[in-house]
Amino acid sequence: MLVVTKFGGSSLSCATQFEKVKNIVLSDPKRKIVVVSALGKRNSSDTKITDLLYILHAHLKYSVPYQDIWEMIESRFLGVRDELGIDYPIDEDLNKLHNELNKNISQDYLVSRGEYLTAKLMSNYLGYSFCDAKDLLKYNYDGLLDEDETEKNVKYAFSLHGSIVVPGFYGSYPNGSVRLLSRGGSDVTGSILAKCLNASLYENWTDVSGILAADPRIVENPKAIKEITYAELRELSYMGASVLHEETVFPVQSLNIPINLKNTNDPLNPGTIIKNESNDTSDLITGIAGRKDFVSFDISKDHMSGEVGFLRKALSIFEKYNVSIEHVPSGIDSFSVVVPLDSVEKCQYELVTELKRELGADVTMDTNIALVAVVGRNMAKRSGVCGTIFQNLGKENINVRLLAQGPSELNIIIGVAREDYEKTIKTLYKGLIA
């Protein structure tokens, strides 16, 4: 049994957090693969090492003096090393990097040093071997992971060392140069390693005790979700809940390896388990999430329902403008096409003109739409859920402007005016989850 354990930046912000990580890792001998992000914020006004490295890169590129930034970076790593009382010569790694700084240094390489140096400290502190992610995660020049090569490298490294610390957030191209993943990518590194080693569990440690059932900026003290399926997580993340990097689930999902989201500051809290299927039927609704900025193009024409191909013609105009469609709620002689506002910001007026001209229809645009998703696997084939939703919203005088439910009955999407967004989430949380 093998557990891949990934720690985010807030779990690695200072020596005290390193100590918590060590206690967690060493308390379970199955935790043999540790993935780390770069040192994170120590408090809300602090700056993450990754952000400092991006700033450093910009200074170098535009030949702006950078010594102050460099010293901030250097002192963070030296500070952790000294406070931990370990004798790892991190100053040598830092001097090497300092000598490499120049106007043309690769951004991917420079930014990846945050994870690299953090992993060097952590491996020494844990007594685990350091394995450079650039020797493990191999990417083709098109940016796709070379899965076979990566699996071979990871298996070999694990068989050689037994317990390893791997920096997250990067791999390398065939020529060995560093390829950085997108922000938050250490989550993906952990997932890839878990897949390569067919781990029994992928643990992802942050500073919250799992996924919350609603946005804590809107709902006071929302419940944490005990169990969620990959499909539910996708719905909630897509609708704005920020949980894991969106590519995290794919590698582990293929082997049905569960992900456990846990809190480094509260390790006994069970957190949230994410897996393919869940038998937990204790909650009807798993969570509520939403996004504020949508536009609805409302299209109507007399006798539209008898015109074969009308919908296709309309949708192909959106396709021409490269706009991805979110929902298409419909009536008999009218329908709406709901899309994210930012996707039509530059082309909304041309789109309306073309829709009117090509379809001979009335087209109006409503830019004041927020969408709220009520997500729950246990809603399927259960009567009364919509009734409860409407009853709660009605009592609060919230007007539902559109409604969509997919065939899987995994979620119900409610469109409301943007000014009703927060109130809708609060009301639904209170009526369905609290």
Indicate whether 5 belongs to the interface with ligand ASP (CB under 6 A).
no
Indicate whether 13 belongs to the interface with ligand ASP (CB under 6 A).
no
**418 burial level (CB within 10 Å; 0-12, 13-18, 19+):** middle
CB of 185 to ligand ASP, least distance (A): 5
Binding residues for ligand ASP restricted to 113-142, rule: CB under 6 A: 114
How far is the C-alpha of 270 from the C-alpha of 395, rounded, in Å? 36
CB of 390 to ligand ASP, least distance (A): 41
Helix, strand or coil for residue 262? strand
Indicate whether 169 belongs to the interface with ligand ASP (CB under 6 A).
yes
Binding residues for ligand ASP restricted to 28-67, rule: CB under 6 A: 37-38, 48, 50
Tell me whether residue 13 or residue 336 sits nearer to ligand ASP (CB atom).
13
Tell me whether residue 8 or residue 222 sits nearer to ligand ASP (CB atom).
8
CB of 161 to ligand ASP, least distance (A): 23
CB of 133 to ligand ASP, least distance (A): 11
Tell me whether residue 60 or residue 111 sits nearer to ligand ASP (CB atom).
111
Q: Identity (one letter) of the amino acid at 247? A: E
Indicate whether 296 belongs to the interface with ligand ASP (CB under 6 A).
no
Pure H helices in 65-146: 67-84, 90-100, 107-126
How far is the C-alpha of 33 from the C-alpha of 191, rounded, in Å? 11
Indicate whether 179 belongs to the interface with ligand ASP (CB under 6 A).
no
Tell me whether residue 250 or residue 349 sits nearer to ligand ASP (CB atom).
250
Kindly tell me which residue out of 96, 98, 183, 395 binds ligand ASP, with binding defined by CB under 6 A: 183
Kindly tell me which residue out of 171, 184, 258, 271 binds ligand ASP, with binding defined by CB under 6 A: 184
How far is the C-alpha of 95 from the C-alpha of 108, rounded, in Å? 19
**Range in contact with ligand ASP (rule: CB under 6 A) among 184-192, 319-327, 343-351, 416-424:** 184-192
Tell me whether residue 5 or residue 37 sits nearer to ligand ASP (CB atom).
37
Tell me whether residue 10 or residue 260 sits nearer to ligand ASP (CB atom).
10
**Range in contact with ligand ASP (rule: CB under 6 A) among 182-190, 225-233, 285-293, 387-395:** 182-190
Which residues, including other chains, have CB under 8 Å from residue 71's CB and lie 6 or more apart?
A: none
Residue entry with tokens 């209170």: 430
Tell me whether residue 139 or residue 335 sits nearer to ligand ASP (CB atom).
139
Q: Which of 329, 320, 327, 328 is nearest to 350 (CA)?
A: 320
Tell me whether residue 8 or residue 258 sits nearer to ligand ASP (CB atom).
8
Tell me whether residue 13 or residue 411 sits nearer to ligand ASP (CB atom).
13
Burial 92-120 (b: 16+ CB within 10 A, else e): ebbeebeeeeeeeeebbbbbbbbbbbbbb
CB of 178 to ligand ASP, least distance (A): 13
* Residue 231 near residue 376, CB atoms below 8 Å: no
Indicate whether 378 belongs to the interface with ligand ASP (CB under 6 A).
no
CB of 337 to ligand ASP, least distance (A): 34
* Residue 168 near residue 125, CB atoms below 8 Å: no
Indicate whether 382 belongs to the interface with ligand ASP (CB under 6 A).
no
Kindly tell me which residue out of 3, 10, 168, 212 binds ligand ASP, with binding defined by CB under 6 A: 168
Kindly tell me which residue out of 9, 210, 222, 271 binds ligand ASP, with binding defined by CB under 6 A: 9
Indicate whether 287 belongs to the interface with ligand ASP (CB under 6 A).
no
CA distances from 422 to 73, 216, 394 (A): 39, 11, 15
Structure tokens at 302: 């007399």
* Residue 285 near residue 382, CB atoms below 8 Å: no
Percent helix, strand and coil across the chain, each to the nearest 5? 40, 20, 35
Q: Identity (one letter) of the amino acid at 149? A: E
CA distances from 361 to 298, 301, 356, 408 (A): 10, 5, 5, 32
**Range in contact with ligand ASP (rule: CB under 6 A) among 55-63, 183-191, 373-381, 425-433:** 183-191
Q: Which of 183, 320, 201 is nearest to 256 (CA)?
A: 201
Residues within the interface to ligand ASP (CB under 6 A): 8-9, 37-38, 48, 50, 114, 168-169, 183-187
